[in-house]
Structure 1
Amino acid sequence: MYRRTLSVIATVVALAATGSAAQASAAAGASRPGPRVLDVMSFNIHHAQGTDDALDVRRIARVVRESGADVVGLQEVDNHYSARSEWADQSAELAEALGYHVVFGANIDNAPPAGSGHRVQYGTAILSRYPITASDNTWLFKSPDQEQRGLLHATIDVHGRKVEFYNTHLSASSGTDRLQQSAQVVDLIGAKKPGILVGDFNALPTAPESQPLQKAYTDAWARSPHPRGDGATHPSEAPTARIDVIYTTRGVTPLVTRVVGSDPAASDHLPLLSKVLVGP
């Protein structure tokens, strides 16, 4: 096991060196940058309310910072949503605390309350150490009695290479909705461009509603050469369910994937982190 770990690390270092050489060549006029190594994360933050009931956005920022994540897909993010999160713009606060770029996708989007100039919003966000050059949020299928969910997409410029990053949070209470939503996600992303999809899928990878994703993409945890535990992320303090997943498309290779357990009280989910290779 130790030798395999060293092999993975050696591969990452070698490929990173190759990427640096290719980057220098691109600067000299080459048409294409080399591969990139990224640490990507999925984190359901439960509007920054921890299992201890403390509302603490900076605690979420600390978990992200200490993990070393370059790009993070956040679920259950409030934007001037209600008193439960002190009417804060949580994605903006996290971006400021980390010094990251950010985009927010509103899946609940209601008119401002009386006396306020801010819309009442709830959804997902993407934080990135690297510049975000484009973004969009697409609402997914929902039954009349279900909460609106979406697919948030950001194009990220990683030293000259464009990386497509997607973040979603599927229905919590309807397997029928999740099945349609996962198929829609596959249709929206496709498989032509190198991309990374993260999210809280509210279903085990073996569930019927997960199969469109499992067939189309690579499950980073299942590909990990030396996984620790079973990859479960929920509930955070005694996880039993692997419902937070990182997927990669063709052109992106997961190298090492782990559950981040540095602060189980920060949210009701643990973050999932994967080191991936984008390229060549």
Structure 2
Amino acid sequence: MSDPSVPEPDFAASQLPQLPGGILRVATYNIHKGVQGLGPARRLEIHNLGLAIEQLDADIVCLQEVRRSNRREAAYFDRWPLVPQAQYLAPEGYEAVYHTNAYTRHGEHGNALLTRWPVLESRHEDMSDHRFEQRGLLHACVQVQGTAVHTVVVHLGLVPGSRVRQVAQLQRYIRREVPEDAPLVVAGDFNDWGNQLSQMLAGFGLLEHGGASPVFTYPSRLPVARLDHVYARGLVPLSLTVPRGRIWWRMSDHLPLIAEFRL
């Protein structure tokens, strides 16, 4: 029995993570539904992805093409996780937020956010521009050392006109749902060949770190383009990197992108 004269420790405060040097590390990764290859040659990569995401050591991980369920693949693979992929991929101590974008014949998939910081609230908005592509945004407000950082995870369409309309919708959503003085991160797979959306995003304050050398994420085996981006407003961009090595291009058709910011 505890001594009432001794104050109880504040476990909530003591267990909160620290932000070394005030640097916020954000990663975005299209995981290709945790499976690589086609037909009988396809292989399950979700277990390797779980280890890889832990190695990213990011404060916030934004994921696209995350399966909540898929009955066909669950029957095909012996080691298919018993829990949804977002929950399975979350490292110990992280909170997982997920919302479905697309419903298919065998299941559903969407965007997810994993974070070592407390999630204050989360929302979803449908961004489908036509009936052939089901798209959406996931918005989570994360409390980082007492500061509410708004993070929006997106996976934009394959059609150029759709992407332009989806960025315009994103702008309206931010104006409606995110305070002007709040730090904001927008990350994901923009499908933006040639970086054509950056001017539109800069028009409402979203900027990305501009390094001296290009950073490519797609296709993962021999990357020649960057379809994945991490834009921010109200944060100072410090760096933008992509991990290299055979293990990374085996797990997905995209490479993860890691951005660091100063609060």
Taking structure 1 as the reference length, the TM-score comes to 0.74
Structure 2 equivalent of residue 14 of structure 1: none
Counterpart amino acid of residue 213 in structure 1? L
The percentage of aligned residue pairs carrying the same residue is 31
Structure 2 equivalent of residue 255 of structure 1: 238
Q: Please point out which of 171, 184, 193 is paired with 1:195.
A: 184
Counterpart amino acid of residue 139 in structure 1? D
Deviation of the 1:159 alpha carbon:
2.2
Structure 2 equivalent of residue 130 of structure 1: 117
Structure 2 equivalent of residue 154 of structure 1: 140
Contact 1:261/1:271 (CA < 8 Å) preserved in 2? no
Structure 2 equivalent of residue 213 of structure 1: 201
* Partner SS for 2:251: coil
* Partner SS for 2:192: coil
Cα distance in 1, alignment partners of residues 151 and 124 from structure 2: 12
Deviations 1:103-162 (A, max 9, x none): 101112479x8xxxxxx3210000001111100010114123x21111101111112211
Deviation of the 1:233 alpha carbon:
0.3
How many residues are matched?
A: 229
* Partner SS for 1:80: strand
Counterpart amino acid of residue 216 in structure 1? F
Contact 1:37/1:276 (CA < 8 Å) preserved in 2? yes
Tell me whether 1:102 sits opposite 2:85 in the alignment: no
Cα distance in 1, alignment partners of residues 71 and 170 from structure 2: 29
Contact 2:209/2:238 (CA < 8 Å) preserved in 1? no
Deviation of the 1:230 alpha carbon:
1.6
Deviation of the 1:210 alpha carbon:
4.7
Deviation of the 1:50 alpha carbon:
3.5
Structure 2 equivalent of residue 64 of structure 1: 53
Deviation of the 1:177 alpha carbon:
1.0
Deviation of the 1:40 alpha carbon:
0.1
Counterpart amino acid of residue 168 in structure 1? V
Cα distance in 2, alignment partners of residues 184 and 36 from structure 1: 32
Where structure 2 has 5 or more consecutive residues not aligned to the other structure, the ranges are 1-12, 14-20, 75-79
- Hey, which of these two has a bigger chunk of helix by percent? 1
Structure 2 equivalent of residue 90 of structure 1: 85
Contact 1:204/1:210 (CA < 8 Å) preserved in 2? no
Structure 2 equivalent of residue 24 of structure 1: none
Structure 2 equivalent of residue 22 of structure 1: none
Counterpart amino acid of residue 108 in structure 2? Q
Contact 1:219/1:245 (CA < 8 Å) preserved in 2? no
Structure 1 equivalent of residue 222 of structure 2: 238
Contact 1:233/1:241 (CA < 8 Å) preserved in 2? yes
* Partner SS for 1:241: coil
Where structure 1 has 5 or more consecutive residues not aligned to the other structure, the ranges are 1-26, 28-34, 114-119
Taking structure 2 as the reference length, the TM-score comes to 0.79
